[in-house]
A and B are shown apart, each in its own frame.
Chain A
Amino acid sequence: MLTNYLKVAFRNITKHKLFSVINILGLTIGIAGTLFIVMYIQDELSYDRFNEKGDRIYRVNLHGKIAGQEVHTTSTAYPLYKALVEEIPEIEQATRVNDMREWIFRYEEKAFKEDKVMAVDSNFFNFFSYELVKGNPDKALQDPNSIVISELLAEKYFGDENPLDKTMAIGNDKSSYKVTGVFAEVPGNSHLKFNALLSSSSFPWMNRDQWLSNSLWTYYMINKTGNPAEVDHKMDAMIETHVSPTFVEFMGKSLAEFRNEGGIYRYWSIPLYDIHLKSSLRDEPEPPGSMSYIWIMTVIGIFIMVIACINFMNLTTAKSAGRAKEVGLRKTLGSLRTTLIGQFLTESVAYTLIGAVLAMGVVYALMPLFNEISGKELQASQLLNINLLGILFAVIIFVGLLAGSYPALYLTSFKITEVLKGKLRAGMKSGGVRSFLVTFQFWISIVLIICTAIVYQQLKYVQNQNLGFDKDHILLINDASRLDKNQVAFKNELRANTNIAGVSYSNNTVPGVNNTTIFRGEGDAADHMMSTYYADYDHLKALDLKLVEGRFFSRDFPSDSNAVVINEAAVREMGWQDPLSEKIIDFNGDSAVSRAVIGVVKDYNYESLKFNVRPLVLHFTNTGNVLYVRIAGDDPGRMVADITNAWDKYMTGDPLSYSFLDEDYDALFRSEQRLGKVFTVFTVLAIFIACLGLFGLAAFMAEQRTKEIGIRKVLGASVWSITSLMSAEFTKLVLIAFVLAIYPAYYVMDSWLEGFANKVEISYWIFALGGLSALLISWLTVSYQSLKAAKVDPVRSLKYE
């Protein structure tokens, strides 16, 4: 009997080619979209799970509340790892990772700047499960000046040679490092990503017994019976033993006093597996994913599948006239309704199966494109992953049954006596269900259109929002200290170039700030947490900052080297009326220093538009590791060449590396931009599938109303009036969908915008846009069928009846 069903199904597919193509296309796109989403989510959920002992690995984080400011960071103190192992028995081992960012690597004639360099402890390869392809995992990182590099770097510097025991010159001072190992490329789903690892023993300062300086990541592995909550508890005690003694020295008060004033200083643990999706801490190795995006993706995936299913339902019922006779006949021959339902479900599962097979092909072909949009590194081979195939199988069954359910119930409800007589229309009163389904499809589409529009509006808004300075045309060299004693000469050379509007040294790379610390106003006992960095005389000009009061650091006032410039937020924080008459107590150096406030700059966003501008104190420096160069000419390409030439004069053979500030700012919104793109892709898919469904439905309605149209035409109706009559039906449904979509779309986007300090107002025209585009799309889709029906010769349409 199954063969009989499949035969009929297959012959129906080939017989109604257009409908089958539309039907299968809808399912294919729906399943392909879902597959992509499943793979995306699988990848997100698989972060760090390649670590064999990952379920017992935790990372220590720091929660502090100092001078009223909350700090949640991943950075911890140098000696913590040792104390963890020595003082907490259930901890088997601990290891540290220190992000060293970018270094110049040299081997023979080759010199390149490499990023993602990290200094790690010797047990790194035993702790985590990164694969070492060459070298001994126990010993590779033991000795000082050992380096373990990626296969890619090995190839780049050593070609076919064996890199082991070769010596590389690393960093500005060209320290010698011996290559002691080569690791396989770090998996894309690792929260730590690195190109080279240096042994921590190479850096004596990493072994300083300094508990209040938090700057590296500490991980620990607990034994099988250990409990991380217990560890957190024991770390509290550890703070008493180790941090308390130095607290007075650095903070000017005891830990107890600090706590009495509402201060918080404690370590806590996060499971390794949770880092990627559940951490929202500062100083993560890479921008974390987010559980809420996972949910959004899941919902979109389900939406798309549901639209494809509805599509199938509508199209199948649209063609039911052709199947009614078969149903009647099979019933006459003794088939039960349940058997017939089984037949139609088999058929829809068969359809879904075809769609799924095609979808696999589509996913395979579009994988590179999807990776580019989503920023993932998915492999085509993952398609054959047993879990994915399992999910795919479940999807086929689920979609097959869901999509087939309504047609099966509907088709088998025909009364034999009526279908066999050809009285089909009498038994086909399912308009309510169909209207509901179409409305639902449009509801989804309109919600997606509105959300996508708002995501884009917000992205555009934050990217074009006034930062308070001009981020365009600024070139950034962030390891300028390599110039050493030539720093000033290099700067002067650039200043002399007429196409360069400003050159400024600083110790800080915006966007971002690496020092937030405590200040006091002179004669005021209250602590104030403010960010601070160092900049030279030309900072104002180079960044095009606006001065509100006073003046910036000036060569004309030698005493300025001891003064500070603050921003408006700092004025508000301090509560000053006349800031230029005030002094700031600075605890940054060896002892507290009082510094005069000589100027106030207009707030500029030196971190990210995700946050509001925080109070800032600018100190003076003459040189720094970071150089900002504002290009004035309209030929940035030539200017880069000029700057490179000037650099090479001082640093022959030492490549210049630079970035552009506007791109660095844009990069802050990469995950949102990706979300925007992913949203767009899936919205377009959803609408496209919905339109396929609508097209089918329009055909169905046209078919159903043939007689009515014929009579109307005989009575003198024009083609136009009939076309609008047909469209009116759908217009009504789209409008209902639109009204129902407004609130959910508003609610979802309002919650999303909560995450931004600077956000667009959700304006009413966005909703109008969503509704109108859905309306327009539906009209375009329906008009073809309506026109076709309206143009039929009434003699023919009446005969049909």
Chain B
Amino acid sequence: MSMIQIKNLQKVYTTDEVETTALNSINIEIKEGEFVAIMGPSGCGKSTLLNILGLLDNPSDGEYHFGEHEVSNYSERQRAQLRKGSIGFVFQSFNLIDELTVFENVELPLLYLKVPSAERKQRVEEVLERMNIMHRRNHFPQQLSGGQQQRVAIARAIVAKPSVILADEPTGNLDSANGEEVMKLLAELNEEGTTIIMVTHSPYDANYAHRIINLFDGKVVTENIKEQFHI
């Protein structure tokens, strides 16, 4: 069953005089439980695509079906509503709130979902345990290593049990050992059924995906099932 389906998607940025087409007639279908990597050179529109897929931004034109919803014309409010239960985000720069502890950062999505306090505590502890970061629960982000911070970010992304995780260069700021660990975690989550869409520059990381979508100048140039490469 398809999780995400976009048809003829366009994204045009207009400044005072210049019109820039960031995405041009994109058609992508991502099935439930898939692990997809999006690759391409800088400025090819990867992040724009990810923002639209993540309901952070609206397309200029085209269709976007998220599950059963046609969301391309959703208002900010509707997008926020859909986003908070069903999409988890992992960023290159972690984006943890510096003023909140590890526990509080992970708890945040549940607060917005109005999960009762006791259940919150239980669920946060579960994911922290799983991410092997429980012992740092009362630390602030700056007190953690990059790898640990990204594990907290992943914990935060999965604590609301989203159906999709969007990862934007999740290993970009990490050394290879920590990067490897993060990729393994994502693969594990995928095996448990979570759909994962990941933007990356690294062919090595892309290897973990079932499918690689290559973008160039706002268009999909190749869309391959990994096996075709015989890697």
Chain A residues within CB distance 8 Å of chain B: 1, 4, 7-8, 11-12, 15, 325-326, 328-337, 339, 416-417, 420-422
Contact = CB atoms under 8 A, between A and B. Distances in A.
Nearest to A12: B99
Given A8-B100, A333-B84, A1 B95 contact: no
Given A8-B99, A8-B100, A420-B95, A333 B112 contact: yes
A326 B95 CA distance: 8
B112 A417 contact: no
B99 A15 contact: yes
Contact of A334 (B93, B97, B104, B112): B112
A329 B95 contact: yes
Q: Could you say which of A339, A420, A422 has the most chain B C-beta atoms within 10 Å of its C-beta?
A: A420
A336 B99 contact: no
Contacts of B51: 416-417
Contacts of A416: 51, 56-57
Given A8-B99, A332-B56, A337 B76 contact: yes
A422 B94 CA distance: 12
Contacts of B76: 336-337
B113 interface: yes
A331 B89 CA distance: 12
A325 B95 contact: yes
A332 B89 contact: yes
A328 B96 CA distance: 11
B220 to A, nearest CB: 21
Nearest to B82: A334
Nearest to A322: B98
Q: Could you say which of B95, B99, B113 has the most chain A C-beta atoms within 10 Å of its C-beta?
A: B99
B112 A7 contact: no
Interface string B59-86: 0000000000000000011001101110
Contact of A422 (B93, B98, B104): B93
A4 B117 CA distance: 12
6 contacts: A325-B98, A326-B99, A329-B97, A329-B108, A333-B156, A420-B95
B49 to A, nearest CB: 12
A334 B99 contact: no
B56 A334 contact: no
Nearest to A337: B76
Nearest to B48: A417
B112 A335 contact: yes
Interface of B: 47, 51, 54, 56-57, 76-77, 80-81, 83-85, 89, 91, 93, 95-100, 104, 107-109, 111-113, 156
A329 to B, nearest CB: 5
Q: Which DSSP category, helix, strand, loop or mixed, fits chain A's interface?
A: helix
A155 B106 CA distance: 72
A11 B105 CA distance: 14
A416 to B, nearest CB: 5
Contact of A7 (B93, B99, B109, B156): B99
Q: Could you say which of A12, A330, A417 has the most chain B C-beta atoms within 10 Å of its C-beta?
A: A417
A334 B91 contact: no
A330 B104 CA distance: 12
Contacts of B56: 332, 416-417, 420
B99 A325 contact: no
Contacts of B98: 15, 325-326
A421 B57 CA distance: 13
A7 B100 contact: yes
Nearest to B77: A336
Given A329-B95, A332-B54, 12 more contacts: A4-B100, A8-B99, A326-B98, A328-B95, A331-B80, A332-B83, A333-B112, A335-B84, A416-B51, A416-B56, A417-B51, A420-B91
A336 B80 contact: yes
A416 B56 CA distance: 7
Contacts of B104: 4, 7
Closest 3 A/B residue pairs (Cβ): A334-B84, A11-B99, A334-B112
B216 to A, nearest CB: 21
Contacts of A336: 76-77, 80
Contacts of B81: 334
A512 B119 CA distance: 83
A417 B84 contact: no
A257 B192 CA distance: 113
A647 to B, nearest CB: 77
Contacts of B96: 329
A252 B154 CA distance: 106
A8 B95 CA distance: 15
A334 B85 contact: yes
A417 B57 contact: yes
Nearest to A422: B93
Contacts of B109: 333-334
B11 to A, nearest CB: 11
A335 B51 CA distance: 16
B117 to A, nearest CB: 10
Nearest to B91: A420
